[in-house]
């Protein structure tokens, strides 16, 4: 576990990953069954990353690999993704008569480049980039569509290469807006 986030609360899914790591350690012979049961009980009672650390600090770190490519399909509905999520190197978005809003501000990136391939028809696509990232929209083939970008190149963070074909749709790429305590 990272010491940067010791006070941050841990989710149920992350607890399950730690239990899976302990299960692997038992199957490899690194832990006895009694140690396993004791550690699983402690992990399930933990609320923060700092409380989890003592149960896994003497075990090898498992690398969580992001999938190389993810395909998102949306038809006549609204799809939103925000918060902490792992972004693959290639993201394919297919939408028909729907809206897709992807918020990358708290996302975890597997690579410094993210290829976003759009196939949109009568839809709206909004991508909210993290601070310091750049977006290249030159490879979008737009037919009766609007493509807007409010992301200025900085060269510091993740580079989004956005391509594909959009018909009768709108594509908006922007940074997170802030006013006082509100973010949107």
Same domain, yes or no, for 41 and 128? no
- Domain end among 35, 56, 77: 56
* Mean pLDDT value of segment 22-27: 84
Q: Do the Cβ atoms of 49 and 2 come closer than 8 Å?
A: yes
Same domain, yes or no, for 76 and 155? yes
The CA distance from 74 to 102, in Å, is 13
> Does a structural domain hold residue 49?
yes
Same domain, yes or no, for 158 and 134? yes
Same domain, yes or no, for 173 and 120? yes
List Cβ neighbours of 21 (8 Å cut-off, separation of 6 or more): 56, 59, 62
Closest alpha carbon to 8 in 45, 54, 46, 49:
49
Residue 151 has pLDDT above 60, yes or no: yes
pLDDT digits 0-9 by tens, 57-101: 888 765 545 578 889 999 999 999 988 888 889 999 999 999 999
Q: How many domains does the chain have?
A: 2
pLDDT digits 0-9 by tens, 108-122: 787 888 999 999 999
> Does a structural domain hold residue 34?
yes
Q: Which domain holds residue 30?
A: 3-56
The CA distance from 157 to 144, in Å, is 32
Same domain, yes or no, for 125 and 172? yes
Same domain, yes or no, for 128 and 52? no
Beta bridge partners of 183: 178
Question: Rounded to two decimals, what is the model's pTM?
Answer: 0.64
Same domain, yes or no, for 14 and 84? no
Neighbours of 183 (CB within 10 A): 11
> Does a structural domain hold residue 184?
no
> Does a structural domain hold residue 183?
no
The CA distance from 35 to 33, in Å, is 5
Same domain, yes or no, for 82 and 170? yes
The CA distance from 131 to 81, in Å, is 17
Confidence of residue 3 (pLDDT cuts 50, 70, 90): very low
Side-chain-facing half-sphere of 165: CA atoms under 13 Å: 4
Same domain, yes or no, for 81 and 22? no
Same domain, yes or no, for 38 and 76? no
């Amino acid at each position: 576990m990272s010491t940067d986030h010791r006070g941050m609360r841990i989710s149920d899914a992350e607890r399950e990953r730690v239990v899976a790591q302990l299960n692997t350690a038992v199957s490899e012979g690194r832990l006895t069954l009694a140690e396993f049961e004791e550690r699983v009980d402690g992990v399930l009672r933990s609320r923060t990353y700092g409380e989890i650390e003592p149960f896994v600090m003497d075990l090898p770190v498992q690398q969580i690999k992001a999938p190389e490519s993810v395909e998102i399909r949306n038809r006549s509905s609204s799809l939103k993704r925000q918060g902490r999520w792992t972004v693959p190197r290639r993201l394919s978005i297919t939408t028909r008569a729907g809206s897709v809003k992807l918020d990358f501000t708290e996302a975890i990136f597997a690579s410094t480049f993210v290829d976003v391939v759009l196939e949109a028809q009568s839809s709206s696509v909004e991508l909210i980039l993290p601070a310091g990232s750049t977006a290249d929209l030159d490879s979008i083939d737009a037919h009766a569509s609007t493509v807007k970008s409010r992301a200025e190149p900085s060269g510091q963070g993740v580079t989004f290469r956005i391509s594909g074909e959009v018909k009768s749709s709108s594509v908006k790429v922007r940074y997170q807006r802030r006013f006082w305590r509100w973010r949107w």
